Amino acid sequence: MTTGTTKGMGIAAPQIGIDRAAAIVRTPDGEAITLFNPTIIESGGDTDEQYEGCLSFFDVRGQVPRSHVIHVEHTTIDGQTKITVFEHGVARLAAHEIDHLHGTLYTDHMRNGIAPIPVEQYRGTGITWKY
């Protein structure tokens, strides 16, 4: 899904053929966050542009602008509705997976005229995510 150094840090149900609004995001410290029916209800803070990848087409990376802070309304595993605030890299991960639930890919967010680059070229940039 996201960084160039891992095999994925999140997955959305539609990516594996499950027609449900569910996603799982793994934080850098290994915590798995499960989101059911998630909706970004607010975004803010600064915006930065970092490379993202995707398990749907894992051989390229693209620079995507995203907000540093998002507020996500979602249902928990026990059926409660709550709002969770995600920041920085985890906000990027969550936004990426929530996008999948709405049929959007990271390439849809890239600036006009900018194309994804091969993963080999991305690795050559020496740029990794900043959490």
Active site residues: 97
| DSSP assignments along the chain, one per residue | ---SSSS-SEEEGGGGT--SSEEEEE-TTS-EEEEEEEEEEEEEEEEEEEEE--GGGTTEEEEEEEEEEEEEEEE-TTS-EEEEEEEHHHHHHHHHHHHHHTT--GGGGSPTT---EEHHHHHHHT-----
